[in-house]
Amino acid sequence: MNHYCSLLFGIFFLVFSQVKCTGYLEVSFKSDFNLKSVLNVSSLNTNSSNSRLVPFLVSPNKTEKLSRIPIDFNETVIMTVFVINQDRLGMF
């Protein structure tokens, strides 16, 4: 009986170690100001130079939703948001 359990566990491990999880990420932004922004989504994997830049605008008191950003959930992902406050550009 022990051999069958070991064999079953081995097969279970081999099958599920090959599972790859990908999908889409949805991100929401809200601000009191007009913002011109870029979302940078990049992988920590050194073999992958896969970086996605998603430009978007945020209007005051409105929620901007970015959807269907492709993500590989098996990797560590870095998300960086670059923002320019357009309402304050005329002050300087």
- pLDDT single digits (tens) 54-90: 999 999 999 999 999 988 888 888 999 999 887 766 5
66 within 8 A of 54, measured Cβ to Cβ: yes
- pLDDT single digits (tens) 7-58: 887 787 777 777 788 899 999 999 998 999 999 998 887 565 678 899 999 9
- Reduced to 3 states (helix: H, G, I; strand: E, B; else coil), residue 59 is coil
Please compute Rg for the chain using Cα positions.
21
- Predicted pLDDT of residue 81: 94
- Predicted pLDDT of residue 49: 65
